[in-house]
Amino acid sequence: MNVGVLTLLGSFAAAGPVAPGSVPVPGMGPPAGVPAMAAPGGMPTLPPGMPPMLQPGLGMPVPAPVLAAKVLAPPGVRVAVHPGSKLARISETPAVFGFRPGYVYRLELSNLPYHPDRVLYPEIEVHGVLVPRPGMNYMDWPAPLVFNSRDIERALAGALITKAVYLEDPEKAIPAEFSPNTPYEVSVGSEEEAIKAAIANGRLVAIVRLGSKLPPPDWLAASAIDGTILAPGERYLRTPVVPPTIRFYGCKLYDPIYGPRGPKEECLVDGGDKLDPLGIGPEGRLGGLNPTDVGVEYTIAGRRRVTTSNVVCLCVPRFVIQRSEIAPFGFDAPSAAVVNIGAFSLQSARDRLAARAEIGREKPVAVGIKERTMGYVGRVGTSFFIGTSRPVVMGQIQGARVVGVVVEPEQLTAYPSLCPLTVTKSVDPSGMVQSGDIVTFTIKFVNTGNKTISDVAVSDSLSGRLEFIAGSAQSDRAANFTAGENEVGSAVVRWELPGLLLPGQSGVVKFKAKVR
């Protein structure tokens, strides 16, 4: 089976179990005797019959990890996973569990405040996971499953509470600081609105429902699937006995040569030029400075120009909750109605289980790729692929091929004839940080041309996930500094550096920001 067909199959397989009678893919299951998941932070194996995602460039299967989730409740509340079965495990809250994506789980909340004799059975649908970065242990970044006192009281009174938990897109971040144990909750009118808002603003990872009817014992026993929950203190997770039943964020359709497009929700970026391109307007003012952009203006040969910097990245996942509540209304009767006759038929019905689909494994009929176009000429000879972001050249002779890829440089290289001012941005510390950490950004500019530059101005519009620390701006040259608000609730910092910048000379500006 070629890589392209396998990739296409992976995208469909994420929608649910493979239909009965379909051809199994060899080599997709775990070796005999090997546990299904390594220690937390490692990569677990896939459920039976689920094609894995391919590691870019190697063609090796990379299974999806579990979703780390932290159950947050008032002091003294106990939470049980797989309640009503022999797999049941009880822990004191807060407690962190690992849930396999694609399943619906039942928890049991007991020893509730002011109601020690009552229990609740929240339902958890797991739709997505984190995509780990180098040095990142995804069990250290749990999604919050919040059951506060208000939620518990409302659920016991008969209300149905739905919470859509999503990994926030940094480009659509809420400009506020909040901790992982006190996540930001947005109230909306209905469950459908909550789910749509979560998908529109990031990656949906879980849907939590609290207050539904008490499940019968046989339902609890049937929903307890071995190999799907990593409980506190456990290091390994066995292969589940039942394949996933709901859609989850897993394998995405991608170009088999270019590779998958990396997700952006785990990390926030700053620098470069996004959306509207930077430019100098008719009145000599800088235009196109969007949030996260860096614009550096300068004058050369009597003309005002602008350039930008490289992009820096901070990995700090943050979860947000969209909450809806349906309160009971009507009348309360001590006995149920015997007969109910309605003048209208049933308007709609919804099944929570995904519909099964027959998937052909021979070849895709048609593939639409939005990332870039590509061309292929001849079975013997050279093939030339042109991408919108990087070129790929492949030579192929009777099955053997050599692939060359031109990638972007990590640091900018000067082209004196096009841009004589080279700008480099860096951040300390880089990589993995925590909300509340303070980082230092450094922007260095160098005249790498052979002409004199004058009146340099450095502008940086910060992401909504960053809060500028007042009084932290620095410059190694005389400068006029200003700071103002931008459209995402953060700040635009600007240095105006009058004077000349001779060939070979450089300058540095710095500032500090708090990660929200």
Six-digit token string for 415: 């082209």
Count how many Cα atoms sit within 13 Å of the Cα of residue 214 in the half-sphere of its side chain.
8
33-42, 67-76, 190-199: least confident range: 33-42
Q: What are the Cα distances from residue 356, in Å, to 16, 123, 225, 397, 400?
A: 7, 22, 20, 42, 39
* For the chain, domain boundaries: 13-250+317-326, 267-310+410-515, 371-406
Six-digit token string for 407: 């990638």
254 versus 458: the higher-pLDDT residue is 458
- E strand spans, 301-373: 303-307, 311-315, 319-326
Task: Yes or no: say if 501 and 450 are a contact pair by the CB < 8 Å rule.
Answer: no
User: Quick one: average pLDDT of 439-453?
Assistant: 95
> Does residue 251 have a pLDDT over 90?
no
Task: Render pLDDT for 3-19 as a digit per residue (tens, 0 to 9).
Answer: 333 333 333 233 333 33
158-162, 182-186, 202-206, 410-414: least confident range: 410-414
Distance CA 129, CA 134 (A): 16
Task: Yes or no: say if 397 and 381 are a contact pair by the CB < 8 Å rule.
Answer: yes
User: Quick one: average pLDDT of 353-358?
Assistant: 42
| Residue 254 banded pLDDT, cuts 50, 70, 90 | low
267-276, 359-368, 505-514: least confident range: 359-368
Task: Render pLDDT for 45-100 as a digit per residue (tens, 0 to 9).
Answer: 333 333 333 333 333 333 447 899 999 999 999 999 999 999 999 999 999 999 99
Mean pLDDT comparison of 62-66, 151-155, 383-387, 405-409, highest-scoring range: 151-155
User: Quick one: average pLDDT of 241-261?
Assistant: 71
Task: Yes or no: say if 258 and 16 are a contact pair by the CB < 8 Å rule.
Answer: no
User: Quick one: average pLDDT of 322-349?
Assistant: 59
Angle at 209 between CA 203 and CA 210, to 5 degrees: 145
**Cα 154 → chain centroid:** 31
Identify the three-state secondary structure at position 197: helix
> Does residue 380 have a pLDDT over 70?
no
| Residue 431 banded pLDDT, cuts 50, 70, 90 | confident
Q: What are the Cα distances from residue 289, in Å, to 118, 275, 277, 285, 463?
A: 56, 9, 8, 11, 12
User: What's the 3-state SS for 6-46?
Assistant: HHHHHHHHCCCCCCCCCCCCCCCCCCCCCCCCCCCCCCCCC
342 versus 463: the higher-pLDDT residue is 463
Which pLDDT score, from 0 to 100, does residue 396 have?
53
| Residue 370 banded pLDDT, cuts 50, 70, 90 | very low
| Residue 252 banded pLDDT, cuts 50, 70, 90 | low
Identify the three-state secondary structure at position 4: helix
Q: Exposed (0-12), middle (13-18) or buried (19+): which is 358, by Cβ within 10 Å?
A: exposed
Q: What is the β-pairing status of strands 143-146 and 67-72? A: parallel
Which pLDDT score, from 0 to 100, does residue 250 have?
58
Pick left, alpha or beta for residue 367 (phi over 0 → left; psi -120 to 50 → alpha; otherwise beta): beta
> Does residue 505 have a pLDDT over 60?
yes
User: Quick one: average pLDDT of 466-492?
Assistant: 95
267-310+410-515 maps to which CATH number? 2.60.40
Which pLDDT score, from 0 to 100, does residue 257 have?
73
Distance CA 282, CA 285 (A): 7
Which pLDDT score, from 0 to 100, does residue 106 have?
94
Distance CA 263, CA 245 (A): 24
Which pLDDT score, from 0 to 100, does residue 427 have?
95
Six-digit token string for 373: 């176009």
> Does residue 301 have a pLDDT over 70?
yes
Distance CA 79, CA 111 (A): 9
Q: How far apart are the first and last CA of the chain?
A: 46
User: Quick one: average pLDDT of 409-424?
Assistant: 62
Task: Render pLDDT for 197-250 as a digit per residue (tens, 0 to 9).
Answer: 999 999 999 999 999 778 888 888 888 999 999 998 888 888 888 888 887 765
What's the pTM? 0.70
| Residue 255 banded pLDDT, cuts 50, 70, 90 | low
Count how many Cα atoms sit within 13 Å of the Cα of residue 475 in the half-sphere of its side chain.
18
Task: Render pLDDT for 95-118 as a digit per residue (tens, 0 to 9).
Answer: 999 999 999 999 999 999 999 999
Average pLDDT value over all residues in the chain: 76
Partners of 464 in the β-ladder:
none
User: Quick one: average pLDDT of 305-311?
Assistant: 95
> Does residue 135 have a pLDDT over 60?
yes
